[in-house]
Structure 1
Amino acid sequence: MEAKKARESFTVKNSHVLPPDTNSHGTLFGGKLMAYIDDIAAIAAVRHCRQPVVTASIDSVDFLHPVFEGHAICLEAFVTWTHNTSMEVFVKAITEDLLSGDRKVCTTAFVSMVAVNEENKPVPIPAVYPETDQEKRLHAGASARHDQRKERRKESKELAEVYGTGLPW
């Protein structure tokens, strides 16, 4: 399988933040932004591997700036690193006051996606290679982030075993 350039998966999504998308503070629901992140990461991942994908994890999402009603939200994503069947997708979300033009990065996130076949079994994917300095920086730290995700997943499984499906009382 031939490796692909990171920029081949680059994806952009814009949305106007409307009243149904906002909470009582007039800002975008955090869950709505997380749904946008998952959606754009999936598109970038499919562009990379040309296979169906599923979300394996989303690293922490820190809300750096509020996204107000009437503003625009622009998300950019691309595949930064690949493993055998999984890939890391970097997502950056930018809020824009459409009247003033003021723009701020409101969050960044790393999303792990896994390519699957018709039986939802993981399938091999092409490697990715960075070209720009920004792509190289993200690629260089990806293996360590992958190891952190594996450890976090192990801890999550342990918690699931300890707490199970029963009620706590």
Structure 2
Amino acid sequence: MRFHTRKWIKPQDLNPNGTLFGGRLLEWIDEEAALYAIIQLENPKTVTKFMSEIDFKSSAKPGDIVEIGLDVVAFGKASLTLSCEVRNKMTRESIITIDKIVMVGLDEQGTPKAHGKTEVEFVKNRLKT
């Protein structure tokens, strides 16, 4: 799992129990998956099609730092399937796992657009030196 983004839990991120609001966490995950897929598919018109079961394993409290990790599960014709784990940066305790997030690249008409990708590419390898 590659952990890409860290978030610091602040008062505006909390639910009435004083812990991290699940909806806020899902917002962060969706944004991270979208950014990752846009870069991999080289298509800014990439959307979330599907998220599998979401498994909340623990919580986070104010002041905690969480990190969002993604792995590529598969490349489809117009899609990219990811898995996700969010964990506490300091304790490494898992907070949430999602086995399957499907992101789809679209064309100008909003229909799935084939991308021809079959493996993860790193931006540094795309740059000509």
TM-score range, shorter chain: 0.7 to 0.9
Task: Select the structure that is richer in helix.
Answer: 1
| TM-score after normalising by structure 2 | 0.82
- Cα pair 1:11 1:43 within 8 Å, conserved: no
1:115-166 Cα deviation digits (max 9, x unpaired): 0122211100233347xxxxxxxxxxxxxxxxxxxxxxxxxxxxxxxxxxxx
- Structure 1 runs (4+) deviating above 6 angstroms are none
Identical counterparts, % of pairs: 24
Q: Which residue number in structure 1 is paired with residue 10 of structure 2?
A: 18
- Which secondary structure state, in structure 2, belongs to the residue aligned with residue 123 of structure 1? coil
TM-score, length of structure 1 as denominator length: 0.64
Matched, 1:108 2:97: yes
Unaligned segments of structure 2, at least 5 residues: 121-129
> Take 2:92 and 2:51, find their aligned partners in 1: how far apart are those partners?
24
**Number of residues paired by the alignment?**
118
Rg larger in structure: 1
**Match of residue 117 from structure 1:** 107
CA drift of 1:11 comes to 6.2
Structure showing the higher strand proportion among its residues: 2
Question: Which of 23, 26, 30 does residue 34 from structure 1 map onto?
Answer: 26
Q: In structure 2, what is the Cα distance between the partners aligned to 1:40 and 1:28?
A: 17
Q: Do the aligned partners of 1:44 and 1:78 also contact (CA within 8 Å) in 2?
A: no
Unaligned runs of 5+ in 1: 1-6, 131-169
